[in-house]
Chains A and B, each alone.
Chain A
Amino acid sequence: SAVISQKPSRDICQRGTSLTIQCQVDSQVTMMFWYRQQPGQSLTLIATANQGSEATYESGFVIDKFPISRPNLTFSTLTVSNMSPEDSSIYLCSVVRTSGRAEEQYFGPGTRLTVT
């Protein structure tokens, strides 16, 4: 399995500020994703973090609001910019690791963000 850590685990932030969430994996992985889970909702994919190039964003998510970095194969950051209460969610990092023909997907512990 892949061990994923996220920092911070939770935060309470003021409207208009920005928060950067870090995701660290214990081994090199093929793909890294960032998801959002709004209260009472299922997970929604924000973007695929691409190593050494710009992230690929899903419909409804833009780089100015959610800038993402992935400087290497084990680390990525997601920034939630100019936050509003609607951004209060759990943000999850997820990775896919390929082992032979098998692909396994793993999830981080999540970052619980509350915007006041």
Chain B
Amino acid sequence: KNEVEQSPQNLTAQEGEFITINCSYSVGISALHWLQQHPGGGIVSLFMLSSGKKKHGRLIATINIQEKHSSLHITASHPRDSAVYICAVRTKAAGNKLTFGGGTRVLVKP
């Protein structure tokens, strides 16, 4: 069974600060997702990674397959970035189902 650990659980930043959220997993994966959940509950898929690095706007996601670790970075953070960020991994052994981390609650203050 794949264990997915996120850190930190909670993060408060001032507007403009650089934010990093970490995700570690225990078993080899076929893909890793970073998801964003706003207070209303809906989930948006930010990135799907199997290797390397992806960038979209102010968001950057990296993954190190050997170390079983991924990071999500938010540059020049803004109050609208306040949300819960969830790491989820897909493994073939689990029938390609997602295993979710516990989430990181991010609050960006103006």
A104, B45: Cβ atoms closer than 8 Å: yes
A107, B96: Cβ atoms closer than 8 Å: no
> For the complex, is A108 an interface residue (Cβ under 8 Å from B)?
yes
* Among candidates A43, A48, A108, residue contacting B86 with C-beta atoms closer than 8 Å: A43
B42, A42: Cβ atoms closer than 8 Å: no
Q: Which of B62-110 contact A (CB under 8 A)?
A: 86, 88, 90, 96-98, 100-103
B35, A42: Cβ atoms closer than 8 Å: no
> For the complex, is A103 an interface residue (Cβ under 8 Å from B)?
yes
- List 14 A–B pairs whose Cβ atoms lie within 8 Å, in order of A's numbering: A42-B86, A42-B103, A92-B43, A96-B96, A103-B96, A104-B45, A105-B33, A105-B45, A105-B90, A106-B45, A107-B35, A109-B41, A110-B40, A110-B43
B residues neighboring A (CB under 8 Å)? 31, 33, 35, 40-45, 48, 86, 88, 90, 96-98, 100-103
- With an 8 Å Cβ cutoff, the count of chain A residues facing the other chain is 18
Q: Per-residue 0/1 for A67-106: is the Cβ within 8 Å of any B Cβ (1 yes, 0 no)? A: 0000000000000000000000010100010000001111
A110, B41: Cβ atoms closer than 8 Å: yes
A residues neighboring B (CB under 8 Å)? 33, 37, 42-43, 45, 48, 90, 92, 96, 103-110, 112
Q: In the assembled complex, how far is the CB of residue B36 from the closest CB belonging to chain A, in whole angstroms?
A: 10
Q: In the assembled complex, how far is the CB of residue B51 from the closest CB belonging to chain A, in whole angstroms?
A: 13
* Among candidates A96, A105, A110, residue contacting B42 with C-beta atoms closer than 8 Å: A110
User: Across the interface, which residues of B come within 8 angstroms of A42, CB to CB?
Assistant: 86, 100-103
> Known pairs A43-B88, A103-B96. 15 more at Cβ < 8 A?
A33-B97, A43-B100, A103-B31, A104-B45, A104-B48, A105-B33, A105-B45, A105-B48, A105-B98, A106-B45, A107-B43, A108-B43, A109-B41, A109-B42, A112-B40
